[in-house]
Amino acid sequence: MVDEGLTGTVEHVVADADTALSMRSGDVAVLATPKVVALCEEAAVAAIEDQIPDGKTTVGTHVDLDHSAPTAVGATVTATATVKNVEGRAIEFMVRVAEGADIVAAGRHTRFIVDRERFMERLRAGSS
């Protein structure tokens, strides 16, 4: 269903709303770790979107990330996710975010393939 080696890429210009200060994850105006994680997830979804059958989707279940360098507002970052392992419904990605040649963050991300309707039904049943 999903092939190892597939890669997705997302490019993003860091805005004020993406900063640790704006997201309340810190008190400096640099790219926030929560935004870095979101970019990694977006790249992972892009890598496999054409491989997921109708009626199915993927949900993120695990992120292990080292955010090792600051990024200023106005800088362009590129998030890349590559499928490294597929085991049943679990898809493991190697992810990284770079500003040019400089690595900003790197790690792993896991997503699970789920039935979209059943997944949402569980949510609706839990809120009753």
What does the pLDDT look like over 6-16, one tens digit per residue?
A: 999 999 999 99
For residues 45-52, give the mean pLDDT. Answer: 96
pLDDT the model gives residue 124: 84
pLDDT the model gives residue 23: 97
The pTM of the full predicted model, rounded to 2 decimals, is 0.94
Work out the pLDDT band at 20, boundaries 50, 70, 90: very high
What does the pLDDT look like over 61-116, one tens digit per residue?
A: 999 999 999 999 999 999 999 999 999 999 999 999 999 999 999 999 999 999 99
108/83 Cα distance (integer angstroms): 10
Domains of the chain: 7-126 (3.10.129.10)
pLDDT the model gives residue 107: 98
For residues 112-127, give the mean pLDDT. Answer: 90
pLDDT at 127 over 80: no
SS3 readout for the chain: CCCCCCEEEEEEECCHHHEHHHHCCCCCCEECHHHHHHHHHHHHHHHHCCCCCCCEEEEEEEEEEEECCCCECCCEEEEEEEEEEEECCEEEEEEEEEECCEEEEEEEEEEEEEEHHHHHHHHHHHCC
pLDDT at 1 over 80: no
Work out the pLDDT band at 128, boundaries 50, 70, 90: low
